Amino acid sequence: MKRYCFALDLVDDKKLIKAYKKYHEKIWPEITASIKNAGIENLEIYLVENRLFMIMEVNDDFSFDKKAKMDKENPKVQEWETLMWNYQQKLPFAKEGEKWVLMEKIFELEKS
Domain presence at residue 111:
no
Flag whether pLDDT at 112 surpasses 80: no
Containing structural domain, residue 80: 2-103
Mean pLDDT of 68-88: 97
Mean pLDDT of 91-99: 91
Domain presence at residue 26:
yes
Task: Please give the pLDDT value at position 97.
Answer: 83
Flag whether pLDDT at 111 surpasses 90: no
Domain presence at residue 54:
yes
Domain presence at residue 112:
no
- Each residue's pLDDT tens digit, 11-70: 999 999 999 999 999 999 999 999 999 999 999 999 999 999 999 999 999 999 999 999
Domain presence at residue 110:
no
Task: Please give the pLDDT value at position 73.
Answer: 97
Domain presence at residue 108:
no
CATH code of the domain covering residue 71: 3.30.70.100
Domain tally, the chain: 1
Residue 50 CA to residue 47 CA, distance in Å, equals: 7
- Indicate the pTM of the whole model: 0.91
Domain presence at residue 25:
yes
Domain presence at residue 39:
yes
